[in-house]
Structure 1
Amino acid sequence: MTQGFDYDLVIIGAGVGGHGAALHAVSCGLKTAIVEAADMGGTCVNRGCIPSKALLAASGRVRELRNAHHLKSLGIQVAGVEFDRQAIADHASNLVSKLRGDLTNSLKRLDVEILQGRGKIAGSQKVTISTGSGEKTVTAKDIIIASGSIPWVPPGIEIDGKTVFTSDDGVRLESLPSWIAIIGSGYIGLEFSDVYTALGAEVTMIEALPQLMPGFDRDIATIAERVLIKPRDIETKVGTLAKSVKPGSPVVIELADAKTKEVVDVLEVDACLVATGRIPDTKDLGLDAIGVETNRGFIPVDDRMAVLSSGEPVPHLWAIGDATGKMQLAHAASAQGVVAVENICGRHRLIDYHSIPAAAFTHPEISFVGKTELAAKEMGKEEGFEVAVAKSYFKGNSKAIAEGEADGMAKVIYRKDTGEVLGVHIIGMHAADLIHEAANAIAQRNSVQTLAYFVHAHPTLSEVLDEAYKRAVGSH
C-alpha cells in the first residue's frame, strides 16, 4: 500500500464503470475503496440496461406468440396469448435485485471497501463521504470519478413519476397506459416503444429533429422505420417540440413547431415517457475546489482518462463513464475504468472509442460500431480518401430464412484505398451479438481484404457480415 494514504484508489460511484475499475484495480494489487450514495450498480443495473432488457425479453415473447402469421409460416398455431403486467414487472425487478447483489458480493469478495454515502473531492487526493449521520474524509493516492448521469428533462415538462416519467420510472412498468406519448426517438424511445406496442399500447412518438432516429446511420433508420415503426401502433411527429407537458388524467401535451416554437397541436394521452437523453450527475462533486471547470456538466478528460484543468492533467485525478460525456454506454464506462487503472499503474494505455459498439434491443435489434456513412465521408474529405460501402441482407441468409426473421441488413463502411473498416451498422435478428466481430476488426484496424477470407460457420447469422466483406472486395 502507498505510504501515508488510506487507500491506493478511491472510486466515486459504483455503477458499471466504477465496478469495472475496482475489479481491475484489485487485480493490479491496489488497495481500493468505492463510494456510493444510492444503489450499488448505478443506472445500468437499477434503472437502465438490465431492467429494460428484462422488459424487452418478456414483451418480445408476447409479440412473437401473438404474431399468428409468422407462427403459421413455421407450421405453429397458438391460441389466446395472455400476460400479467405485474409478473413482467416483477421479472425485471427480481433481475435487478439479483445482479445488484452479485455486483456487491463480487466487490466484497475481493476486499474492495464499500463506503456508503455521497463522495466529494475535498482537495488533492482527498475525498469526503457524507452520510445522514455526518461526514468523514479519506485520503487516496488516486481518485476516479464515476458519478454517472441522470435523465434530462427539457424545460416546460413536469414529471410526476406516474403519468409523466423518465426511463428511471418506466422500467418499473407500474401501469400499462392505453395511449402513451414518447418524447425522443433515440435508443430509449425506440426500446420503450417496442415494449409498449408489444403489450398492446398505442404510441405517439415525438421527435424535435427533422428525422426520426437522428443518431443512427440513415440506411439503418430507413429500415427501422419500415420494420419497427410503420407496422406497429405508432404515430410519429418529427420536427415537433413538446413545449409543455402537464401530468394528470389525461396528460396534456402542447406540441410546437421545432423551428418557429409556435404551438401547432394539443395532445391528450394517458401517459408520457420523456426519453430526451441524459445529463452528467456532477453537481456538488467539489471539482471547483481543485480548479476543474466542467463543460455543460461534463468532466473534461484526455484519452488516458485523466481529468483536465485548462487543458492540463490534474495529478492523481481521473474520470470515467457518463460523467465524461464521451459515450454514454455501460461497457464504455467499464473500458474507460480499465484504461484509467492501467495509467494509474504506470502502464500507458489510451481508450479507443472508435471500436466501442452500441446496440438497441428492439425486435429486431440494431447495432453499430465506428462511423456512420456521413461521418466517414466527412473524414474522407478532410484526410483525402474515398469511402465505399458494402451491404448484405438477412433475406439472403439461410439461418434468418429458417427462423422466418429475414428483415434486416448489414452495412460495412470502409476506405477505398486501404480497405480499412471505418464503421459497421446492422439491423436484424441478434444484431447486438453480431456487431462484436466488426468491433474487434475495427480495434485491429483490419481491412475488408483481410476479413473477406475469414471463415464463418454455415448456416449462421454471422454470414451476413461474411457476405458484406466479400462483396466489398468483389469476390461475390
Structure 2
Amino acid sequence: MFTAYLICESLQGPQKVKVGSSNNVLTAKDIIIATGSVPFVPKGIEVDGKTVITSDHALKLETVPDWIAIVGSGYIGLEFSDVYTALGSEVTFVEALDQLMPGFDPEISKLAQRVLINPRNIDYHTGVFASKITPARDGKPVMIELIDAKTKEQKDTLEVDAALIATGRTPFTQGLGLENIDVATQRGFVPVDERMKVIDANGNLVPHLYCIGDANGKMMLAHAASAQGISVVEQVTGEDHKLNHLSIPAACFTHPEISMVGLTEPQAREKGEKEGFDVSVAKTSFKANTKALAENEGEGLAKLIYRPDNGEILGVHIFGLHAADLIHEASNAIALGTRIQDIKFAVHAHPTLSEVLDELFKSAKIKHKLLTQ
C-alpha cells in the first residue's frame, strides 16, 4: 500500500485511481488530489494567446503592446500593470466592481492607487463588465465591448492593441471521477474540511481522500497549497494537524509591494460585531524608517488590526519596500498565537525595515496587560 498523488488520473472508487487513458487501476492507502487551477475566462471573451491573453501567455509575448487593457484589478492584474507600464505600455483597467483592487484592505487600496496607478500611464473603467472581447485580426485592433455591471446597458467600446484577462482562476477538477465516490464540486471546487479531508454530497468524509491547493478553493496561493500538503502528510503519517489559514500571508509583487495576513479592517469589524469584541487599528509610516529613507523608498504604510482587550492580532497589511518579506513576522505571530503585549518587546536591528513592524506593534494600545506564563 502507498500514497498516490493524483495529478491527471481518475478516481474509480475509494482508494482506487485509474492511471491516464490506460486501464491500469492503482490501489492506495491515501490519495491526495492536487490538480490546481487554470485561468478563468468569462463568456464572450475569445482568447487567441497573442492579442487576447491570460496570465499564462502574458510573459511570452514577442512584442510589448503600446496599449493593453487588463480585465480585473486583483493581484494578477495589478502585478502585470506594474510590468507593462515599466516596459512602456499604456494600461487600461476594466473592473466590474465600483473600485479598483477590491480584495485589498480599503485603506491600503487607496494608498496603492495613489502610488501605483495615478502617477503612471494607467486609466480605468470601474463598475463595468467586458461583455465581449475580439482578438486583433485583419488589420483591426482588439475590440472590447463594455456594459454597466448593474444595468447591463452598453457603456463603451475600447480599441486596444492587446487585452489581458485577469479575472482570477478556476479549479481544474473536471474529469477526476469524483462522481464515482459521490463527491459534488461547489463552483468547481472540491469540498474539504479543516484538515483537507474530502466531503461527499451527503456531508460525510470520504475515507483516505484529501484535496489540497487551488482545487479546494480555501486559499488559492502556491505556498498555501504547500502548507496544506504538509498538513496532510502529517496526518497520513499519524500526526494530527490543522492549518490556520488566517495565518497564511499573501503578497502582490508590485513596486513597491503589497502584503497582508489575516482579516481586513471591514472583515475584523464585522467579526467583532458578531462576537461582541472591540477592534482597534494602529499604523506606522515608512517615512519614519531610516532604511526606507536611505533607499529613497519612504512611500509606504503598515497597518495593524487587533483586539484591544486581549492583544490578539486580527490582521496586518503592508504597502511599501519589501512588504512581502516583512509580513512574515506578523503571519508567524498569528500562527503561534503570540499577542501584541509579548511581541512588542522583540528587538529589531537598526537600521532595518523590520523596525516598521517593531513600531507598529509598540504603537498598539492594549487595555489589559497579560503576563506570559
TM-score for the superposition, normalised by structure 1: 0.75
Distance 1:210 1:257 in 2: 11
1:166-315 pair list within 5 angstroms = 166-248=54-136, 249-309=140-200, 310-315=202-207
- After superposition, the CA RMSD in angstroms is 1.0
User: Which region of structure 1 is more displaced relative to structure 2, 329-338 or 172-181?
Assistant: 172-181
Find 1:358's aligned residue among 244, 250, 259: 250
Find 2:13's aligned residue among 123, 136, 144: 123
Q: Partner residue of 2:5?
A: 11
1:315-464 pair list within 5 angstroms = 315-464=207-356
Q: Partner residue of 1:152?
A: 40
- Structure 1, gaps ≥5 residues long: 14-117
Report SS of the residue matched to 2:272. Answer: helix
Q: Partner residue of 2:369?
A: none
Residue 135 of structure 1, CA deviation:
4.2
Bigger proportion of residues as helix? 1
Residue 343 of structure 1, CA deviation:
1.4
Residue 171 of structure 1, CA deviation:
2.5
Distance 2:62 2:103 in 1: 29
Distance 1:403 1:135 in 2: 61
Equivalent residue letter for 1:184: G
Query: 1:452, 1:473 within 8 Å by CA — same for their partners in 2?
Result: no
Query: 1:127, 1:139 within 8 Å by CA — same for their partners in 2?
Result: yes
Residue 473 of structure 1, CA deviation:
3.2
Distance 1:430 1:175 in 2: 30
Aligned residues: 362
Distance 1:174 1:365 in 2: 27
Residue 452 of structure 1, CA deviation:
1.3
Distance 1:283 1:154 in 2: 17
Query: 2:257, 2:319 within 8 Å by CA — same for their partners in 1?
Result: yes
Equivalent residue letter for 1:11: Y
Equivalent residue letter for 1:355: S
Residue 425 of structure 1, CA deviation:
0.1
Equivalent residue letter for 1:423: G
Report SS of the residue matched to 1:168. Answer: coil
Distance 2:282 2:338 in 1: 15
How far does the alpha carbon of each residue in 1:266-288 deviate from its partner, in whole angstroms, 9 at most, with x for none? Answer: 10000000000011000000000
Query: 1:448, 1:473 within 8 Å by CA — same for their partners in 2?
Result: no
Percent identity, aligned pairs only, is 60
Residue 136 of structure 1, CA deviation:
2.2
Report SS of the residue matched to 1:188. Answer: helix
Distance 1:384 1:444 in 2: 23
Equivalent residue letter for 1:383: E
Distance 1:461 1:240 in 2: 39
How far does the alpha carbon of each residue in 1:134-168 deviate from its partner, in whole angstroms, 9 at most, with x for none? Answer: 44221111100000001110111111111101001
Residue 416 of structure 1, CA deviation:
1.3
Distance 1:182 1:338 in 2: 35
Structure 1 stretches of 4+ with a deviation exceeding 6 A read none
Report SS of the residue matched to 1:362. Answer: coil
Residue 311 of structure 1, CA deviation:
1.8
Query: 2:50, 2:61 within 8 Å by CA — same for their partners in 1?
Result: no
Residue 175 of structure 1, CA deviation:
2.3
Report SS of the residue matched to 2:94. Answer: strand
Distance 1:304 1:346 in 2: 13
How far does the alpha carbon of each residue in 1:330-359 deviate from its partner, in whole angstroms, 9 at most, with x for none? Answer: 000001011111111221111110100000
TM-score for the superposition, normalised by structure 2: 0.95
Distance 2:351 2:260 in 1: 23
Distance 2:82 2:6 in 1: 34
